[in-house]
């Protein structure tokens, strides 16, 4: 404002001073009245509200305790310990800042401080698996670190890759003696399935995101990712036409590495969002549920029609594929478990499908969620 009025003469400068003084007068005159009015309203509100009795005070404390999640098994004194650690770290940071400024001075101190910080692990610690999504507490009381949704082991030895429900991908190169996270920089940490191509060097890792267990906190994903350098870098595979795999979840991945590019089978189910304090929300319309196949390493995808699986639909949409596996001794043999349907087999690499004559059921049969595993050939073949 000073720069503008300096070019227009003293009369404008005088006008500016008058405006400022007028503003001061208005604030001075009306400020106390406004404050008294607000204070009176607050006093009337508080006076009209009776003091809480002991039961109400207890309920208030229980409410705030529940908002902090203490009913879910937070370790004893963890909240107080976290506050103390935070206070110590703040004090140490202030001291380090003062020392850095004294030593270096200027803006260089901040960059030097950031590069010299040392991080110490303080949590999260294992917590109880009990929860009360619907108002009723259920679950087991033991402490756990979360769900592991998939484990893939390289037959060549050494490499073990594990996927967590909402904790990303963990990789071991020493047969599981130690693990490191390799997926933290990706757009989602919800993992549903992992598969390996051991014919490449190093082994190629495929990660299907979105936990396909359909629990309230089984979070949706953003498609399938691939790494050719043991998790140092990741590439998101192309998705089918909209809506693609975004906001869906995966139950399983199976890879036929006897051909190149590899053939990929993927079991897809609904994706959800939610948390311990929210109900599950379906993030997808279910139109992409079911079994998918790619014969070009994930560049393009084919969605198997429901007619191949006895027309199985749920709410007008395809039934999810709970699991899909390939016979390691003959990749032409493929098996898929269709949720709310049954198990189907193919002896021609997924071209045709037949319901499995399971001996303990009457065929055809409607079943719930299923899992599959293929063992070595029997003596009878």
Q: Is residue 57 part of a domain?
A: no
pLDDT of the residue at 312? 93
Q: Which one-letter DSSP state was computed for residue 75?
A: P
- The pLDDT of 34-63, averaged and rounded, is 62
Which is higher by pLDDT, 41 or 142?
142
Domain annotation covers residue 118: no
Residue ranges making up the domain that contains 21: 2-49
> Where residue 170 sits, what CATH number does that domain have?
2.130.10.10
Cα distance between residue 30 and residue 181, in whole Å? 61
Does any domain span residue 111? no
d(CA 288, CA 246): 10
Q: Is residue 298 part of a domain?
A: yes
Question: What integer pLDDT is reported at residue 26 of this predicted model?
Answer: 36
Residue 83 within any structural domain of the chain: no
pTM (2 d.p.): 0.65
Is 127 inside a domain boundary? no
Mark whether 193 and 303 lie in a shared domain. Answer: yes
Q: Is residue 85 part of a domain?
A: no
* Residues 223 and 346 grouped into a single domain: yes
- The three-state secondary structure class of 37 is helix
Give DSSP secondary structure letters for 121-161.
---PPPEE--B-TTSS-BS--SEE---EEEEEE-TTSS-EE
Between 334 and 18, name the one with better pLDDT: 334
Query: What pLDDT does residue 149 have?
Result: 94
Q: Sign of dihedral through CA atoms 216, 82, 169, 373? A: negative
The band of 285, judged by pLDDT with boundaries at 50, 70 and 90, is confident
Q: What gap in Å lies between CA 239 and CA 247, rounded to an integer?
A: 12
User: In terms of pLDDT, which residue wins out, 67 or 316?
Assistant: 316
- Nearest residue to 205 (alpha-carbon basis) of 160, 241, 144, 243: 160
170 and 33 in a common domain: no
Number of domains in the chain: 2
The stretch 251-265 carries a mean pLDDT of 96
Q: Is the pLDDT of residue 3 over 50?
A: no
Longest dimension (CA), the chain: 108
Q: Answer yes or no: is 302 within a domain.
A: yes
State yes or no: pLDDT of 258 exceeds 70: yes
Q: What local confidence, expressed as pLDDT, does residue 33 receive? A: 46
Q: What is the pLDDT of residue 7?
A: 39
**Pairwise CA distance, residues 16 & 376, whole Å:** 92
Taking residues 128-148, report their average pLDDT: 69
Does residue 32 sit in the same domain as residue 164? no
């Amino acid at each position: 404002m000073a720069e503008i009025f300096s070019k227009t003469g003293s009369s404008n400068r005088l006008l500016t001073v008058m405006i400022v003084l007028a503003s001061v007068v208005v604030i001075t005159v009306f400020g106390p009245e406004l404050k008294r009015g607000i204070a009176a309203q607050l006093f009337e509100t508080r006076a009209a509200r009776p003091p809480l009795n002991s039961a109400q005070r207890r309920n208030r404390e229980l409410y705030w305790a529940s908002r902090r999640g203490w009913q879910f098994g937070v370790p004893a004194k963890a909240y107080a310990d976290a506050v103390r650690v935070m206070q110590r770290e703040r004090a140490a940071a202030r001291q380090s800042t003062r020392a850095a400024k004294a030593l270096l001075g200027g803006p260089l101190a901040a960059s030097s401080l950031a590069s010299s910080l040392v991080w110490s692990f303080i949590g999260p610690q294992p917590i109880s698996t009990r929860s009360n999504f619907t108002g009723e507490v259920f679950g087991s009381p033991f402490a756990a670190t979360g769900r592991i949704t998939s484990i893939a082991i390289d037959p060549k030895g050494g490499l073990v890759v594990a996927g967590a429900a909402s904790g990303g991908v963990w990789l071991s190169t020493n047969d599981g003696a130690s693990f490191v996270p390799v997926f933290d920089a990706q757009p989602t940490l919800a993992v549903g399935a992992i598969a390996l191509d051991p014919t490449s060097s190093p082994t190629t890792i495929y990660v299907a995101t979105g936990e396909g267990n359909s629990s309230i906190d089984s979070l949706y994903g953003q498609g399938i990712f691939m790494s050719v350098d043991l998790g140092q870098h990741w590439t998101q595979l192309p998705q089918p036409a909209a809506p693609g795999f975004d906001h869906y979840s995966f139950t399983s991945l199976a890879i036929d590495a006897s051909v190149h590019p590899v053939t990929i089978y993927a079991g897809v189910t609904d994706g959800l969002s939610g948390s311990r304090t929210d109900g599950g929300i379906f993030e997808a319309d279910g139109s992409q549920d079911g079994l998918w196949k790619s014969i070009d390493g994930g560049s393009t995808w084919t969605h198997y029609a429901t007619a191949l699986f006895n027309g199985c639909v749920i709410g007008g949409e395809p039934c999810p594929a709970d699991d899909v596996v390939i016979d390691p001794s003959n990749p032409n043999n493929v098996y898929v478990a269709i949720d709310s349907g049954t198990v189907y087999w193919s002896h021609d690499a997924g071209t045709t499908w037949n319901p499995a004559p399971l001996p303990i059921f009457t065929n055809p049969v409607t079943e719930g969620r299923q899992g599959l595993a293929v063992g070595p050939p029997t003596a009878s073949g």
